[in-house]
Amino acid sequence: MPSWTHIATLCGAIALAFPVVAADLPTASQTRPAPPAFLPEWTFRVTPYGWLTSLNGSQTVRGRGANVNASFIDIMDSTIGEGGSLVALMLDMEARNGRLALFADIIGEKITIERSALRARAVAPGVAGAVGAAADLQFQMAIVEAGAAYEVGTIGTVAFDVLAGARYWYQKMDLGIDLAGTVDLGDLAIGRGRAIARSGSVDWIDAFAGVRARVSLAPNHHLELRGDLGAGGSRFTWQALAAYAYDFKTTNGVTYSAVIGYKALYVDYVQGSGRSRYEFDMLQHGPVIGMSVRF
C-alpha cells in the first residue's frame, strides 16, 4: 500500500506537469475556423412612390383609334374631377449583395381620359365607316418588372451597373366613341349615349437590357441614372429614369430617404388586324415622388 509520502510526491509531480500540458492544449477560439476577412451581406431597399404620369401616343381598340395627349392635370380632371376614381400603386424594390443586385418594380393604374385630351384618327383596314369622335378612354394597366444588375466598375464616386430583366404588361381598355351615322357599330357595345370598343384583357412580356450609374454626390445625397431598351411581345420599348435621394434619418440600422425624380417609359405594341386590331403606342412620363427604406 502506498504511503502518504508517495501520494504527496505523485500529486506534486502532476501539479508541476499540468501547466505544461494545459499550455499545449488548443483553446476554444483556436479550434474554431477563422471567419473570412470579407463576407458580403444582403441589404434591402423598398421604395413606395407616386408617378405623376402624362400620356402621349395613340391607342387602337377593335380597329378604332384615337391619338392621346393627356397631361397629369388632364388625367386628374378626367377622374377625380368628374367623380371617377384614380387608382395608382407603385413599388420599387432592390436587394444587393456586393456587386450583385436583384430588383423589381410594380406599377398599377386605373384612370380615365376625357375627350379634351383625345383626337380621333382613321379606323384600321377592314373596318367600315369613320372612326367617330373619341369621347373618352378608360383603362386599367399593370406593369411588373424584374431583373438583375451587376456592378462592372467605379470611377471616383460613380458606380456603373449593367442590368437585364423582363417586363410584364397587362391592359384592359374601353374606348368611347360618339355615335354618328358613319360609325360601324357591328362589334361595339352601346352605353352612356356612345359606342364603346372594349379590348378585353391584353398582356405580353418584353425582355430588356440597359445600364445604370449610381452617384454619391455627398454624404446622404445620392443620384441614380438608368436607361434600358427592349422588345419581345412588343415591337420596341425603352425606359429612362433620373432620381435623387436624400438620407434624412438612420435609426436601428434602417435608413430613411426622400426620393424625387423623373421617369419615362415607352412601348409600341400591336396585335390583330381589322376589327380585332389592338395597338398601344404610348409614352408615359412624369415626375416621381417617394420614400425609400433601406436596411
pLDDT tens digits for 163-184? 999 999 999 999 888 776 555 5
Q: What is the mean pLDDT of residues 57-61?
A: 93
User: Looking at the predicted structure, is the pLDDT value of residue 27 above 60?
Assistant: no
Whole-angstrom distance, CA of residue 45 vs CA of residue 256? 10
Could you tell me the end-to-end alpha-carbon distance of the chain, in angstroms, rounded to an integer? 73
The pLDDT of residue 89: 81
**Bigger pLDDT: 140 vs 120:** 140
- For 54-106, the three-class secondary structure string (H helix, E strand, C coil) is EEEEEEEECCEEEEEEECHHHHHHHHCCCCCCCEEEEEEEEEEECCEEEEEEE
| Residues in CB range of 24: below 8 A, 6 or more apart | none
Pairing of strands 158-178, 134-155: antiparallel
Mean pLDDT of 264-273: 96
Q: Is the pLDDT of residue 264 over 80?
A: yes
What does the pLDDT read at residue 192?
A: 64
Give the model's confidence band at 31: pLDDT under 50 very low, under 70 low, under 90 confident, else very high.
Answer: very low
Q: Would you say residue 30 has pLDDT above 60?
A: no
Question: How far is residue 47's CA from residue 92's CA, in Å, rounded to a whole number?
Answer: 5
- The answer on pLDDT for 126 being more than 80 is no
pLDDT tier, 15 (very low <50, low <70, confident <90, very high otherwise):
very low
Average pLDDT along the chain: 83
For the chain, domains (ranges, CATH) are 40-294 (2.40.128.100)
CA angle (263 as vertex; 258, 265 as ends), nearest 5: 150
pLDDT tens for 275-289 read 889 999 999 999 999
Give residue-wise pLDDT tens across range 180-208.
655 556 666 676 667 788 899 999 999 99
Q: Is the pLDDT of residue 2 over 60?
A: no
E strand map for the chain: 43-51, 54-61, 64-70, 87-97, 100-114, 118-120, 134-155, 158-178, 189-191, 194-218, 221-232, 236-251, 254-271, 278-294
Average pLDDT over residues 50-56: 93
The answer, yes or no, to whether residue 239 has pLDDT greater than 90, is yes
Are the C-beta atoms of 212 and 240 separated by less than 8 Å? no
- Residues 229-245 have a mean pLDDT of 98
Single out the residue of 233, 114, 96, 117 nearest to residue 163, CA to CA.
96
Share of the chain above pLDDT 70, in %: 76
| pLDDT of res. 75 | 86
Q: pLDDT, tens digit, for every residue of 70-111?
A: 999 888 887 776 555 566 789 999 999 999 999 999 999 988
**pLDDT > 50? residue 134:** yes
